[in-house]
Amino acid sequence: MASDDIALNAAPYFIVYKDGRIDRLIGNDIDPPGLDPITGVESKDVDISPDVTVRVYRPKSAAEKISEKLPLLVYFHGGGFCIETAFSPFYHQHISAWVAEANIIAVSVNYRRAPEHQLPIPFEDAWTSMKWIASHSEGKGQDEWLNEIADLNQVYLAGDSAGGNMAHRMALRTVTEGLEGVKIKGLQLIHPHFWGGKLIGEENDWDPNDLFVVENLWFVVSKDIKTLDDPIVNPEHDPDLGRLPAERVGVYVAEKDNLKERGRHYAECLKKSGWGGTVEVVETEGEGHVFHLFNPTCDIAGELVKQLAAFINSGCRG
């Protein structure tokens, strides 16, 4: 018999029960793939394993038989590892706009979600997508778009919130486990979801209920995480942090986002790790967590998309 005892009340987003059930209160709508009439970006869904589907995007220029290959963006959606999908209107619209602005190809990954699928299962699904992408390095992979127009020597990993955490983990994994055929040029973490055993900065001023949700979420999504200083939660304690393969990292934070201190802290830890690349923190004033998804047509969301596109274009074509 199902129990109504609550393990974590993260309303208005989701509620997790002690028996492992979850009520997903948002993030259940989907947009179909196809031709976007506003941007001219075309998308399609590809099943790459029994458990993982990706949505592949190509810009309008790709249909015109461009002669040069394009940088590849690999995107991991957020939602606390629990809600949203790669097919959500939030993400479909955001990635379409980014692809159009930057003139790139993109793969948006749909992974299995917690709490039904505990970490590291979502990470394993993300790694499945990375290996699938690498299979196109000689132009003989499953997907013709990647074979024809994706430059796997110019790969950018990105994600928002929990997806930012995932993008970081996947970048490191290409080093610790190896991934032939893919070169990670850059990493873009948008309002990334990290934490730690000790509060920093403005986190000391948080409402106790908000702290409870953020801290206990980690123990809901993974039975293997025993401490908030686990390297999955807190990159500061990851001995491999300095091995990050990206040449450049962009960390995007928002003034009214409770997770902003963690984004800044990540950048500082990266600088101290011995890593040889460059990291930049970009802050949006007056906005909250993933504001650009909730209000994608506002001017400031459009400005963020331009910043994200410029990061890729300056690294590949500057």
Q: Is 201 helix (H, G, I), strand (E, B) or coil?
A: helix
- C-alpha angle 152-182-72 in degrees, rounded to nearest 5: 35
Beta-carbon contacts of 20 under 8 Å, excluding residues fewer than 6 positions away, are: 115, 116
Indicate if 161 belongs to the active site: yes
Tokens linked to 6: 């609550």
| Pairing state between β 248-254 and 184-190 | parallel
108 counts as catalytic? no
- Angle at the Cα of 173 from the Cα atoms of 315 and 89, rounded to 5 degrees: 65
Catalytic residue among 36, 143, 160, 257: 257
The catalytically annotated residue of 168, 191, 289, 292 is 289
Question: What are the tokens at 270?
Answer: 């990266």
The two counts, helices (H) then strands (E), for the chain are 8, 11
Cβ distance 165 to 192 under 8 Å?
yes
Q: Which residues, 6 or more positions from 265, have their beta carbon under 8 angstroms from its beta carbon?
A: 194, 196, 200, 236
Which residue in 43, 108, 129, 161 is the catalytic one? Answer: 161
- Is the distance from CB of 230 to CB of 237 less than 8 angstroms? yes
Quickly list H helices, the chain.
Answer: 89-102, 121-134, 144-149, 162-173, 208-221, 260-272, 291-294, 299-316
HSE-up of residue 174 (Cα within 13 Å, Cβ side) = 27
**What percent of the chain is helix, strand and coil (3-state, nearest 5)?**
35, 20, 40
Distance separating alpha carbons of residues 249 and 104, to the nearest angstrom: 18
How many Cβ atoms are within 10 Å of 318's Cβ, its own excluded? 7
Does residue 191 carry a catalytic annotation?
no
Which residues are known to be catalytic? 161, 257, 289
